[in-house]
Structure formats: C-alpha cells, structure tokens
Amino acid sequence: MQSTAEFMEWVEGRTPGEVEFHQAVAEVMSSVWPVLQRNPEYAEAKIPQRMVEPERVISFRVPWVDDTGEIQVNRGYRVEMNSAIGPYKGGLRFRSDVNLGILKFLAFEQSLKNALTTLPMGAGKGGSDFDPKGRSDAEVMRFCQSFMSELFRHIGDHTDIPAGDIGVGAREIGFLFGQYKRVANEFTGILTGKGSTWGGSLIRPEATGYGVVYFADQMLKTRDESIFRKSCLLSGSGNVAQYAAENVIRLGGKVLTMSDSSGFVHDPDGIDEEKLAWIIDLKERRRGRIGEYAEHVGCEFRAGERPWAVEGAEVALPCATQNELSGQDAKLLLANGVYVVAEGANMPSDPDAVRRFVDARILFGPGKAANAGGVAVSGLEMAQNASFATWSRDKVDSRLLGIMVDIHHSCIRAAAEYDRPGNYVVGANIAGFEKVASAMLAQGVV
Ligand code: GLU
C-alpha cells in the first residue's frame, strides 16, 4: 500500500456500505501513516490490514414475544475485533439503527481506546437493532433473555466481556446477567457495569462522564486553566451526559444545555445538582423526554435541534452519538468562542468538524481518549471480580483520574514524537496503534 487513499480503497472494496467503519478507519490510518513509514516491520507484517479485519463476527436471531403476544424478530451481533492485548472488551448497543458497519466502527475505535487505558483489554462490540425506548420492563427482560440465550456461549471472563452502551444501562445489564447465570450455571464477571451489590464496581456508572471532564480539565491545565467557572454545552442526557454534567458541577463549572433525540433544553442559570437529579430520575426511572425538564424549570426547549448554536460557553461536550456535530456546527462553536471540545460519545464530530477543530488549534479531545474512563473502570471491575474484592468509591475515582491523566500524557507524548504537538487526534491514534501493533507483531501471524 502506497498511501492512505489506496488503503481506504482496499478497505471500502471489502466492506461496501459500512460508512461509519470507513470513517473511523480513514481517520486512524491518516494519523498512523508516519508510524508505518518509520517502522516498516508493521507494514511488512500487514498489521493495518489485519487490524481492520475482526477476529470473529457473530450474528444471530433474537426472537421474543411482545406484550400483545406478537412474535418479534431482531438481529443480535458480537464483533470480536482484537485480542492482542487482552480478552475482547466493549459494550453492547441496543438501538434501531444498529448494523454491522456501526458495530465495526465502534469495535475498531474500542481497540485503540482500550489500549490507551493502560489496562490489558482487547476489543469487541455488540448489540442489536432492538430499541428499548417505548418498551415495557417485561418486554426488555424477554428480549435480553433471548439475546443472552445465544450470546452466552461466546463470552467468558477470560474470553469476551461485554458491558453497556447506548440503550443498555443498569436494567438491561441486570436482565442479561441474570440469564447468563441461569444458563451457564456460574457466577462470574462476564459483564461489567453490574449492580454494586452483585459484583459491580463503584463509580462504573459515573466513569465515562467523569472521565470526559477529567480529560477536558487536563487539556485546560496545559494552558494553566481548569473547568472551574467554565460554561459547558452538553449534548445527550443518558449515562455519559448525566455524569459528565455531575463532574462539571463538582469541579465548579456550569452546564447550560442537555438534549435527547427530541431536542435540547437551554437553562442559562445552569443545571445544578438538584436539577440534574431531576433529569436523572426523568431519564432512568420515568423514562420521559427532555422537554419535560424545560416545563419543570421554565427554561427554553428547542424541538429537533442540537445545542451547538447556544452562545456564551467555552466548552462543548458532545455526549449523545456518532456524527451529531457537523462541520457547520464546529464553525459556529468556534465563532462563538468555544475552545475546548471533549468527546463523551464515540465519534460525535464528523470528519469536517474534526478538521476544523484541529486547524483552529483548540483543545480537542477525541472520544477514544476522552471517553476511555468508562471502559477503564470496567477493567477495574474485572480486577475486583478476579480477586473477589470491592474497592471504595475514593479508590476507584482516584484510579480513574490517574488513568485519564496517563491517557492525556500518552496523547501529548505521541503527538510530540511525530511533530504534531498538541494534536490529540494524532496522539491518541498513534499511542493506541503502537501498543496494539507491537503486541500483534510479537504474537506472529494469528
Ligand atoms: N460502551 C463503552 C465504550 O464505548 C464502555 C465499554 C465497556 O465498559 O466495556 O467504551
């Protein structure tokens, strides 16, 4: 392969239609091209070609009966992407748009993200086109039981350890774990994100969101600043957004916006701890829409829009989903004075937006670095399960902070080493790639 373009032509030819996967691979390959130039042994061993081919893809039928007695058929997947540095590890996503291309993009990102955490975790991702939204608890349970009735034979605490992602939270993990235990007849740490009374780690629910804000704070520290007194535009209102908001508030910043697929709310007074507790209850227990918050506090709700045009913020934390922030949005954010963007979601900024942020030399933390705190604490949950131990909140939170500091360091170091100082996109891609690539090289052609 002579160029990134030639490599991408080859990838696209083998995986037609997997557009999100192509997007993720193209960004990584353009970052790591200089590494391949400097280390010809990687290209000779065809490391890039092997890295974009999952080690195994499992696809299965998930039949279940809804509350009206009708039979429903969904499709389940597990993409076992890379096990060079540890067992497959990564979440399950339940959402109607889930397809193989989306899961391969997520699994590929996960392989570099997990490498950055400093913990021994390979990469996987899975899920289904089932959407829990609007479904009763009983329907979600029956779906989860059917899903796990097939998945159980492919996972294991030394093989593949799924967790949550969009549409898979505490409720779904509970049902999935219950069914695993029933069919496998063993109580082991085959999932992370478990409840704290049955093998889960304290701080795991908070970890992704807390980590994003720790990462933003680390980036700000390179300019002798911090999150303290900064105003933040946040998108999303699920697990990542909830705890990103909590950490912004904890560190003395202000949260102006939150959103869901119906639109966003703008609270110029700031969403404080009490208001956030109301939102968490709305989303986790009442399973309502974000517009209800605007009615509750008397602030603005903008249906069908995203929060990127709101003025008066320095920080943006996209915590909803892939490609939720376009080049036009990025232009607006930059024009409005935003100079810190840390991605809580996976690949929320599209390629045009990333280019604009990088060219403007703002503090831009890509998802695979900024949101790695979630999977990092999953790794800590695995360590606790393996040693039959339970660590305190403070211990897990300080380990999380330490890991985010280390990831930040690795990005800075790799970017500087390849003459792109301050470029966290290049830094994260290179640091993650080098770790996985060197392990693959050492292990031979497998
Ligand atoms: N779904 C999360 C992610 O995108 C967490 C995965 C995990 O904890 O295994 O990293």
Contacts 24+ apart (CB under 8 A), 31-35: 31/425, 31/426, 31/429, 31/430, 31/433, 32/429, 32/430, 32/433, 33/3, 33/4, 34/418, 35/418, 35/430, 35/433, 35/434, 35/437
- CB 200 less than 6 A from any atom of ligand 1: no
**What is the pTM assigned to this prediction?**
0.97
Using the predicted structure, report yes or no on whether residue 2 has a pLDDT greater than 90: no
Cβ neighbours of 269 (radius 10 Å)? 11
Digit-coded pLDDT (tens) for 221-260: 999 999 999 999 999 999 999 999 999 999 999 999 999 9
Centroid of ligand 1 to alpha carbon of 124 (angstroms):
9
Pocket flag, ligand 1, residue 263 (CB < 6 Å) = no
Question: Would 53-184 and 207-365 be classified into the same CATH topology?
Answer: yes
pLDDT at 42: 97
Architecture per CATH, domain 207-365, reads as: 3-Layer(aba) Sandwich (3.40)
Q: What is the pLDDT of residue 356?
A: 98
Q: How far is the CA of 93 from the centre of ligand 1 (A)?
A: 10
* Alpha carbon nearest to ligand 1 atom 10, residue: 375
Mutate to test the pocket of ligand 1, among 89, 378, 381, 396 (most ligand atoms within 8 A of CB): 378
Mean pLDDT value of segment 382-386: 98
> 435 an active-site residue?
no
Q: Does domain 53-184 have CATH number 3.30.1010.10?
A: no
Per the residue annotation, which of 89, 104, 113, 125 is the catalytic one? Answer: 125
The contacts of residue 443 (CB under 8 Å, 6+ apart) are 84
pLDDT in tens, 300-350: 999 999 999 999 999 999 999 999 999 999 999 999 999 999 999 999 999
Query: What would the mean pLDDT of 204-224 be, rounded to a whole number?
Result: 98
Q: Is the CB of 22 under 6 A from ligand 1?
A: no
- Could you tell me the residue ranges of all domains in the chain? 53-184, 207-365
Which amino acid is present at 295?
A: E
| 128 three-state secondary structure | strand
Exposed e or buried b per residue across 302-327, where buried means at least 16 C-beta atoms within 10 angstroms of its C-beta: beeebbbbbeebbbbbbbbbbbbbbb
| Sheet containing 340-342: order of strands | 300-303, 263-266, 254-260, 231-235, 315-318, 340-342, 363-365
Q: Measured between alpha carbons, how far is 159 from 306 in angstroms, rounded to an integer?
A: 39
What ligand 1 atom has the least distance to the C-alpha of 114? 10
| Residue 125 CB less than 6 A away from ligand 1 | no
In this structure, the number of other CB atoms found within 10 A of the CB of residue 427 comes to 29
**Which ligand 1 atom lies nearest to the CA of residue 165?**
1
**HEC assignment per residue over 190-212:** CCCCCCCCCCCCCCHHHHHHHHH
Confidence of residue 1 (pLDDT cuts 50, 70, 90): confident
pLDDT band of residue 197 (cuts 50, 70, 90) is very high
* 127 pLDDT more than 90: yes
Quick check: helix, strand or coil at residue 321? coil
β-pair partners for 257: 233, 266
pLDDT digits 0-9 by tens, 138-161? 999 999 999 999 999 999 999 999
Question: Whose CA is closest to atom 5 on ligand 1?
Answer: 375
Contact 343, 365 (CB under 8 A): yes
Whether the CB of 89 sits within 6 Å of ligand 1: yes
Beta carbon of 163 within 6 Å of any ligand 1 atom: yes
262 close to 227: Cβ distance less than 8 angstroms: no
Does residue 378 line the site of ligand 1, with CB under 6 A?
yes
- Could you tell me if the CB of 365 is within 6 A of ligand 1? no
Separation of CA 349 and ligand 1 centre (Å)? 18
Residues contacting residue 261 through CB under 8 Å, at least 6 positions apart: none
Give residue 107 CA to ligand 1 midpoint distance, Å.
10
Report the chain's mean pLDDT, rounded to a whole number. Answer: 98
